[in-house]
Every structure is written in structure tokens, then in C-alpha cells.
Structure 1
Amino acid sequence: MKIAFYGSSLLSSYWNGAATYYRGILGELARRGYAITFYEPDAFDRQQHRDIDPPEWCRSVVYPATDDGLRSVLAEAGDADIVVKANGVGVFDRELLEGVTARARPGALRIFWDVDAAATLDEMRGDPSHPVLRALPDLDMVCTYGGGPPVIDAYQGFGAAACIPVYNALDPSTHHPVDPDGRFACDLAFLGNRLPDREARVEEFFLRPAAALADRSFLIGGNGWETKDMPANVRHRGHVYTTEHNAFNATPLAVLNVARDSMAAIGFSPATRVFEAAGAAACLITDAWEGIELFLKPDEEVLVARDGQDVADHLAALTPERSRAIGQAALARVKAEHTYALRGAQVDALFRDHFAGKREAA
């Protein structure tokens, strides 16, 4: 079966945290025999900050972020058995969603894949003309990369025919334990771009502990932080390429995960970074959110913090021995239950069940 996937970027994680998620899911589907084309715009300097070359398992189409570029890729939607529009492309989001649903051939599976469901649902609640809300009657399903029962109920309440979470996961071939790298040596590291609905939580869960523990060292990676006032014991790395993630996670005494406001509020939304850190056998400290125990066991496979004081307390009590034990336990858990091979099998079964149901109905 042919998949036409319209997303932000497969080739670059620059201002694009969904890149490794797309690679993991689609790479597994390709191994199961799907012929995949990924369409991404040449926008936001992503092509100047590629992490990977176009993979052998996928046809990669980078189109100009122009009206002509949009028309050229929409023209190919009718060739696919499965047409997917992901949210957050950043340019022509409305036109892409309307275009691919309209141009998909009869019988094709039409999917909206939401990698920021909590934010999308908030927008839909405030805008009766929201493009996703308008598209739902023409979609066969919505897939999300998190959200659990709250997101499923909300999407179905808006009229989605089906809403299926396909959670982030680990690709052990790309994220795995490595030797420490002095560039990332510190007591606590955090990796994430500076975003409006994340910044206050970074201040609470990362900068507050740094100010309280002046004798400990902290490292922050990601775009946008260079203009942020920070304590003297915090170093800023800027963009950290995917190829550097293993060393970034494996070197510090502990690694911090901080959810964005909307994801923390709705729960059941582990970020890609959670599984990447666990895959590198990092000792992960995460802010508290509902559903964490479905992915990692608190106090044994992950340390959970309700606020910045909890982070400081965890870090003050953490020994290298306990850090290693937690990291190894997390690695074992995600390799057993949360790999992209398992997510790929889930999506493959989902697609096949859909087409089998349509054949039976005919």
C-alpha cells in the first residue's frame, strides 16, 4: 500500500521535535512493505539543519513553501492508498488538510495525525471554523501521539469517526547507551526548544533548582534560550542534533523532562525525549503528569517531581550508583514495551483492519 504523508519534516529536527517520531513510525511501516512518500516544505531553515539524508526506505519530497509548491504536492495525493496530514507543518496547514482530503481517491484512508492534540483541541473549542473541525466529517480517523482517554473522548465528542493514540517510543538502533562525552558533563541536563507554553515550566523545574543548588552544574540544550537570563551554573548548548542525543542523555547524572503546559494538563503524553533518554539508560527526572506509570514506574524507572523543589531534592539525594540503576531499569522497560517496532505493528494492524472492514461493508 502507498502512503502519502504531509508533515513538518522527516529530515530535520530543527524546531521540529516530531522528526524522530515520524522516522520511527514510518520506518517500521516501510519494513512491513508500505511504499511511503513524505512531503515537507522548505521552511524555517530546516533543510539547512538536516539530521539525516533522505532515507532509502522513503521517497522524500521537499517542496518550495509557495503556492506552486503546494499545488505540486497536492496533485500527488490521489495516487496513495493512505493519505495523512500531520498538524504543525507550519506553512499551508489549512490548505494541505483541505487539499489532501479533497484529492484523495475514493476508497483511500484519510487520516489527520495530531502530534499536539491538547493544543489543537483547545483551538477547536474556541473556533467553530477551525480547519480540523471542518475536516472531521471527511476523515476516516484521527491518530495522535498521546493524550489517552481525555483526547479520545474530546475528538470523538467533536465528531471524529475514531481517535487512536500512537505513543512515542524508542528506536534502539538510533537511541542507545554510549560512552560519556565531556561536552555534556553536568548534574542535570534539559533538552527542549524555548516555547511560550513551556517556558514557565522550565523556569520552575529547571532554573529554580539550578538557583537553589549553586554548587551543582546544569546544562540546557535547544533553540531560543540564548537570550534567557539564567543562573551562573547553567550552560547553554543551542541546537543539539539527533546524532548527539545519545551522548547528551548518557553523560549527565540525570536528565530532565518538562512537558508543555497543554500536555501536562491532559496527561498520557510522554514526549519523544522520555524514550530517547530511557533508551540511552539515562536517569530521568520528569515533571508529574497523569499516566506516567503506564510508561515508566516512579522511583524505580523514573523520578517524578511535582515542582522545582522536588527536582532539587531528587538531585541532592541522587548518587551515581542510583542514577545507573534507574537508567538501566528504564532501558529494560522501554525495550520490552515501548519500541517503534511495537508501534509500527499497531499502526499496520490499524490500517489493515480498516481496509478489511471496508471490504466487508462493500
Structure 2
Amino acid sequence: MKIAFYGSSLLSSYWNGAATYYRGILKALAAHGYEITFYEPDAFDRQQHRDIDPPEWARSVVYPASEEGLRAVLAEAGQADIVVKANGVGVYDRELLEGVLAQSRPHALRLYWDVDAAATLDEMRADASHPVLRALPDLDMVLTYGGGPPVVEAYEGFGAARCIPVYNALDPDTHHPVPRDERFAADLGLLANRLPDREARIEEFFLRPAGQLPGSRFLLGGNGWHDKSMPSNVDPIGHVGTGAHNAFNCTPRAVLNVARDSMAEIGFSPATRVFEAAGAAACLITDAWEGIELFLKPDEEVLVARDGQDLADHLQGLTEEQARRIGEAARERVLREHTYTLRGEQVHRIFQQHRERAREVA
């Protein structure tokens, strides 16, 4: 079966935190025999910051971020058995969604894959003409990369035929333990682009503890922090490509995950960083959000901080031996329960079930 996937970028993680999620899911689906084409616009300098070459398990199409480029790639939607529009492409999002619905074959499976469902739902509540809300009657299903029961109930309440979370996970071929890299030596490391709906939480969970612990080194990777005022013991190092993520996770005593506002509020939304860090056997500290125990066990496989003071307390009391033990336990858990191989099997079953129901209706 052929999949046409319209997303932000498969080739670059630059201002694109969903890249490793797309790679993990689609690589796993390719192992089930799907022929995948990923369409991404040449936008936001992503093609100048590629992390990977076009993979063997997917055809990569990079199109000009123009109306002509848009028309060219939408014309190919009619060749696919499964057509996917992901959110957050960044250019022509409305036109892409309307176009894939118009251009896809009548019996193709048409779905919306939401990698920021809580934010999308907030937008839909505020705007009765939101393009996703208007498209729901013509979509066969919505898949999300998080959100749990609250997101499922909200999407189906808006009229989605089905809404199914497909959570982030680990590709152990990509994220795994590596030797230390002294470039990333620190007491606490954080990978996070500067975004308006996460900045206040990073101030609380990262910058405030840094100010309380002047003798500790805090390492901040990600775009957009160059003009942010921060304590002198915080080292902002800019974009860190996915090829260096293992070393970034393996070297500091602990690494931090900070959820975006909407994801923290709704819960059940582990970021890709959670599984990448666990796969590298890093000691992960995460801000508190509902549902964490479904993925990692607090105090044994992850440390949970309710606020900046909690984080500072964790860091002050954390020995190298405790950090190693927590990281190893987390890696064992995600290898057992949270790999992209398992997520690919889940999505493959979803697609098969849809085909079976469609045959019954026919």
C-alpha cells in the first residue's frame, strides 16, 4: 500500500521537534511493506540544516514553498492508498489539508496526524471556522502523538470518526548509549527550542534552579536562546543536530524534559526527548504531568519535579551511581514497552482494521 505523508520535515530537526517521531513511525511502517512518500516544503532553513540524507525506507520529496510547488505535490495524493496531513507544516497548512481531501481517491484512507493535539483543540474551541474542524467530517480518523483520554474525548466530541493516540517512542538503532563527549559535560542538560508556550516553564524548571545552584553547570541546546537573559552558569550552545543527541544525553549527570504548556495541562504527552534520553540510559528529570507513570515509573525510572525547587533538590541529592541506576532502568523499560517497532505494529493494525471495516460496508 502507498502512503502519501505531508509533514513539516523528515530530513531536518531544525525548528522541527517532530522529525524523530516521523522517522521512527515511518521506518517501522516501511518494515510492514508500505511504500511511503514524505512531502516537505523547502522552508525555515530546514534543508540547510539536514540531520539525515533521504532514507532508503521512504521516498523524500522536497518541494518549493510556493503555490506551484503545492499544486505539484498535491497532484500526487491521488496515487496513494493512505493520505496523511500532519499539523504544523508551517506553510500552506490550510491549503494542504483541503488539497489532500480534494485530490485523494474516493476509497483512500484519509487521516490527520496531530503532533500538537492540545494546541489544535484550543484553536478549534476558539474558531468555529478552523480548517481542521471543518475537515473532520471528511477524515476517516485522527491520530495524535499524545494526549490520552482527554484528547480522544475532545476530538471525537468535535466530530472525529475516530481519534487514536500513537505515542512517541524509541528507535534503538538511532538512540542508544555512547561514550561521553566533554563538549556536553554538565550537571543538567536540556534540549529545547525557544517557544512562547514553553518559555515560562523553562524559566521555572531550568533557569530558576540554575540561579539557585551557582556551582553547577547547566547546558541548554536548541534554537532561539541567544538573546535570553540567564544565569552565568547556563551555557546556551544553540541547535544540536540529532546525530549528537546521544552524546548530549549520555554526558551530563542528568537531562531535563520540559513539556509545552498545553501538553503539560492535558497530560499523557511524553515528548520524543523522553524516549531518546531513556534509550541512551540517561537519568531523566521531567516536569510533572498526568500519565507519566504509564511510560516510566517515578523515582525508579525517572525523576519528577513539580517546580523549580523540586528540580534543584533532585539535582543536589543525585549521585552518579543513582543517576546510572535510574538511566539503566529507564532504558530497560522503553526497550520492552516503547519502541517504534511496537508503535508501527499498532498503526499497521489500525490501517488493517479500517480496510476490513471498509470491505464490510462495501
TM > 0.5 fold call: yes
* Aligned position for 2:56: 56
Aligned to 2:198, the other structure's residue is in SS state helix
- Cα distance between partner residues in 2 of 1:231 and 1:106: 57
- Cα distance between partner residues in 1 of 2:91 and 2:234: 34
Aligned to 2:256, the other structure's residue is in SS state strand
Aligned to 1:197, the other structure's residue is in SS state coil
The gaps in structure 1 that reach 5 residues or longer are none
* Aligned position for 2:279: 279
Aligned to 1:227, the other structure's residue is in SS state coil
* Aligned position for 1:66: 66
- Cα distance between partner residues in 1 of 2:285 and 2:309: 12
The AA in structure 2 aligned to 1:135 is A
The answer to whether the aligner puts 1:77 opposite 2:77 as a matched pair is yes
The answer to whether the aligner puts 1:16 opposite 2:16 as a matched pair is yes
Aligned to 1:150, the other structure's residue is in SS state helix
* Aligned position for 2:43: 43
* Aligned position for 1:300: 300
Alpha-carbon deviation of 1:102? 1.2
Alpha-carbon deviation of 1:207? 0.3
The AA in structure 1 aligned to 2:209 is P
Q: Provide, for residues 146-194 of structure 1, a one-character-per-residue CA deviation record: whole Å limited to 9, x for no partner.
A: 0000000000000000000000000000000011100000000100100
Alpha-carbon deviation of 1:258? 0.2
* Aligned position for 2:222: 222
The AA in structure 1 aligned to 2:169 is A
* Aligned position for 2:198: 198
- Cα distance between partner residues in 2 of 1:178 and 1:38: 30
Q: Provide, for residues 205-244 of structure 1, a one-character-per-residue CA deviation record: whole Å limited to 9, x for no partner.
A: 0000000001111100000011111101110110000000
1:238-257 aligned within 5 A: 238-257=238-257
The AA in structure 2 aligned to 1:136 is L
Q: Provide, for residues 117-168 of structure 1, a one-character-per-residue CA deviation record: whole Å limited to 9, x for no partner.
A: 0000000000000000000000000000000000000000000000000000
The answer to whether the aligner puts 1:184 opposite 2:184 as a matched pair is yes
Aligned to 1:75, the other structure's residue is in SS state helix
- Cα distance between partner residues in 1 of 2:102 and 2:113: 17
The gaps in structure 2 that reach 5 residues or longer are none
- Cα distance between partner residues in 1 of 2:154 and 2:201: 25
* Aligned position for 2:143: 143
Alpha-carbon deviation of 1:360? 1.3
Alpha-carbon deviation of 1:361? 1.3
- Cα distance between partner residues in 2 of 1:221 and 1:115: 21
Aligned to 1:84, the other structure's residue is in SS state strand
Alpha-carbon deviation of 1:262? 0.4
- Cα distance between partner residues in 1 of 2:190 and 2:60: 31
* Aligned position for 2:289: 289
Aligned to 2:26, the other structure's residue is in SS state helix
Aligned to 2:95, the other structure's residue is in SS state helix
Q: Provide, for residues 298-334 of structure 1, a one-character-per-residue CA deviation record: whole Å limited to 9, x for no partner.
A: 0000000000000000000000000000000000000
Aligned to 1:57, the other structure's residue is in SS state coil
- Cα distance between partner residues in 1 of 2:243 and 2:232: 28
* Aligned position for 1:236: 236
The answer to whether the aligner puts 1:130 opposite 2:116 as a matched pair is no
Matched residues, number: 362
The AA in structure 2 aligned to 1:110 is R
* Aligned position for 1:322: 322
CA RMSD of aligned residues (A): 0.4
- Cα distance between partner residues in 1 of 2:358 and 2:67: 35
* Aligned position for 1:336: 336
- Cα distance between partner residues in 1 of 2:340 and 2:102: 31
- Cα distance between partner residues in 1 of 2:35 and 2:232: 51
Alpha-carbon deviation of 1:106? 1.1
The AA in structure 1 aligned to 2:265 is A
* Aligned position for 1:359: 359
The AA in structure 2 aligned to 1:60 is S
- Cα distance between partner residues in 1 of 2:156 and 2:304: 31
- Cα distance between partner residues in 2 of 1:101 and 1:19: 24
- Cα distance between partner residues in 2 of 1:313 and 1:358: 55
* Aligned position for 1:110: 110
- Cα distance between partner residues in 1 of 2:180 and 2:229: 28
- Cα distance between partner residues in 1 of 2:196 and 2:229: 15
The AA in structure 2 aligned to 1:249 is N
- Cα distance between partner residues in 2 of 1:237 and 1:14: 14
Aligned to 2:111, the other structure's residue is in SS state strand
The AA in structure 2 aligned to 1:268 is F
TM-score by length of 2: 1.00
Alpha-carbon deviation of 1:351? 0.2
- Cα distance between partner residues in 1 of 2:277 and 2:227: 26
* Aligned position for 2:4: 4
Q: Provide, for residues 58-107 of structure 1, a one-character-per-residue CA deviation record: whole Å limited to 9, x for no partner.
A: 11000000000000000000000000000000000000000001111011
- Cα distance between partner residues in 1 of 2:74 and 2:321: 54
The AA in structure 2 aligned to 1:245 is H
Q: Which runs of 4+ in 1 moved over 6 A?
A: none
The AA in structure 2 aligned to 1:351 is F
- Cα distance between partner residues in 2 of 1:321 and 1:147: 34
- Cα distance between partner residues in 1 of 2:232 and 2:344: 44
